[in-house]
Amino acid sequence: MSINVTRSSMPDYEEYIEAIKDLWDSHWLTNMGEKHRKLQAQLEAMHKVPHVTLYTNGHLALEAAWAVLNLPKGGEVITTPFTFVSTTHAIARSGLIPVFCDVKEDDYTMDPAKIEALITDKTVAICPVHVYGNMCDVEDIDAIAKKYNLKVVYDAAHAFGVTYKGVSSACFGDISMYSFHATKVFNTIEGGALCYQNDDYVQVLNDLKNFGIHAPESTPYIGGNAKMNEFQAAMGLCNLRHFDRELIKRKRVFEQYQDFLGNMAGIRILQPQKDVVPNYAYFPVVFDEYKYHRDQVFDRLAQNNIIARKYFYPITNELECYRHLSKDNTPIAKRLSETVLCLPMYADLRDEDIEKICKIIKESKKEKQVNP
């Protein structure tokens, strides 16, 4: 049996069945039903954020964020190439131009010290990414945004449940986007959300995810279909009940890996940040001058039915569709992409499996004998 890089957290079967049973009475399966509204309210309370708008997935949520800001087409958005391609696609599909900023060595998030050099008269926004649950330098980024009157949209897909100085990751920037994909630390099967303070965004964002329809005979926006259905919301309500317990389990997995790999030469483990309560969403390892290259480790794990992930490789400014925008100014992101490997990380990963993974990483490679 394979050990996958992640495994979806799910409630007990009976708990979920009980949660969806009344749908056979109401027949209200989508269009912001009771479960949708209940999950939205619980998320707002959990994150202490005024507004949460739910979506069928995180990518469409991110596209909606750009739509509600109504930025001029062709405007430049400073973002990071060390991210899943959805971040960059949402910018480009919204008629905006991604401009790539390098990341920091210590936490792999956008380097604020390199942002201002990229700002031009076409710059309209910044789109930083909280990577692996590590928080960006929200204070420095906020200061730059205010200085140049720029919007800030955080891709917080990895940062659900993370807090900085007691404040939820949902509360930074003009808008923060969460992904509730099945692989995330909290899931609604598929799903996503936008979190924000501005009261004026509420109705527009609800309209945009429902074809731009504002009323039965009024459609003022060109919208899409991005509504979270009741089955997704029910899964979210169930998983939210167990979220704190899931974090405790994930912390145990993190500590087990730390014990096995923490002091190995040539291996760098991402450490929790100061003033940040983490969510242990991923376990990235950088093989920096290790006795094996990252790809060798990846292959050796795969040969033992252990599925790790080169996350993120390649960086987005090296993908075919973005190479024309790249200026080779992100060397740290490129080096990380060639050396980082995310090991299996999920709440129920067994101790013996963690030990097996680490043993394979540590074992010396048997070289073939060459006959004279």
What is the per-residue pLDDT across 19-35, written as a single tens digit (0 to 9) for each?
999 999 999 999 999 99
Return the structure tokens found at 274.
């100061």
Q: Please determine, for residue 372, whether its predicted confidence score (pLDDT) is greater than 50.
A: no
| Residue 90 within a domain | yes
Domain end marker among 217, 241, 265: 241
CATH number, domain with residue 83: 3.40.640.10
Domain end marker among 241, 259, 277: 241
Question: Could you tell me if 208 and 357 lie in one domain?
Answer: no
SS3 assignment for 82-96: CCCHHHHHHHHHCCC
For helices 230-241 and 13-20, give the axis angle rounded to 10 degrees: 130
**What distance in Å separates the CA atoms of residue 368 and residue 364, rounded to the nearest whole number?**
13
Strands (E), the chain: 51-55, 76-79, 97-100, 123-127, 151-155, 163-164, 167-168, 175-179, 192-196, 267-269, 276-277, 283-287, 340-343
Question: Could you tell me if 229 and 299 lie in one domain?
Answer: no
Question: Could you tell me if 208 and 354 lie in one domain?
Answer: no
Question: Could you tell me if 155 and 299 lie in one domain?
Answer: no
Q: Please determine, for residue 336, whether its predicted confidence score (pLDDT) is greater than 90.
A: yes
Question: Could you tell me if 60 and 168 lie in one domain?
Answer: yes
Question: Could you tell me if 178 and 293 lie in one domain?
Answer: no
Q: Please determine, for residue 307, whether its predicted confidence score (pLDDT) is greater than 50.
A: yes
Residues, the chain: 372
Rounded mean pLDDT of 348-362? 97
Question: Could you tell me if 301 and 160 lie in one domain?
Answer: no
Say how many CA atoms lie within 13 Å of 261 toward its Cβ.
Answer: 29
| Residue 366 within a domain | no
Q: What is the pLDDT of residue 328?
A: 84
| Residue 298 within a domain | yes
State percent of the chain over pLDDT 70.
98
Q: What is the DSSP string of 9-66?
A: ----HHHHHHHHTTHHHH---SSS-HHHHHHHHHHHHHHT-SEEEEESSHHHHHHHHH
Q: Which amino acid is at 312?
A: F
Q: State the total domains in the chain.
A: 2
Confidence of residue 365 (pLDDT cuts 50, 70, 90): low
Phi, psi (degrees; rounded to nearest 5) at 285: -125, 130
**pLDDT single digits (tens) 131-175:** 999 999 999 999 999 999 999 999 999 999 999 999 999 999 999
Q: What is the pLDDT of residue 371?
A: 45
**Residue 79: closest CA among 316, 331, 276, 311:** 316
Question: Could you tell me if 309 and 351 lie in one domain?
Answer: yes
| Residue 158 within a domain | yes
Confidence of residue 326 (pLDDT cuts 50, 70, 90): confident
Q: Please determine, for residue 369, whether its predicted confidence score (pLDDT) is greater than 70.
A: no
| Residue 85 within a domain | yes
The sheet carrying 167-168 orders its strands as 167-168, 163-164, 276-277
CATH number, domain with residue 288: 3.90.1150.10
Question: Could you tell me if 236 and 249 lie in one domain?
Answer: no
Kindly report whether the peptide bond that precedes residue 314 is cis, defined as omega within 30 degrees of 0. Answer: yes
Rounded mean pLDDT of 253-282? 96
Domain end marker among 192, 223, 241: 241
**Residue 197: closest CA among 46, 40, 50, 47:** 50
Confidence of residue 1 (pLDDT cuts 50, 70, 90): confident
**Residue 129: closest CA among 166, 94, 162:** 162
Q: What is the pLDDT of residue 296?
A: 96
Rounded mean pLDDT of 367-372? 42
Domain of 250, in residue numbers:
243-361
Instruction: Give the end-to-end CA distance of the chain in Å, rounded to a whole number.
Output: 41
- The Cα-based distances of 27 to 14, 20, 21, 23, 38 in angstroms read 20, 11, 10, 5, 17
**pLDDT single digits (tens) 308-321:** 999 999 999 999 99
Rounded mean pLDDT of 274-287? 97
| Residue 1 within a domain | no
| Residue 56 within a domain | yes
Tell whether the torsion through CA atoms of 253, 259, 265 and 271 is positive or negative. positive
Question: Could you tell me if 201 and 288 lie in one domain?
Answer: no
Question: Could you tell me if 43 and 145 lie in one domain?
Answer: yes
Confidence of residue 192 (pLDDT cuts 50, 70, 90): very high
**What distance in Å separates the CA atoms of residue 232 and residue 189, rounded to the nearest whole number?**
6
Q: Please determine, for residue 368, whether its predicted confidence score (pLDDT) is greater than 60.
A: no
Return the structure tokens found at 329.
């100014």
| Residue 368 within a domain | no
Question: Could you tell me if 21 and 152 lie in one domain?
Answer: yes
**What distance in Å separates the CA atoms of residue 165 and residue 156, rounded to the nearest whole number?**
17
**What distance in Å separates the CA atoms of residue 222 and residue 212, rounded to the nearest whole number?**
5
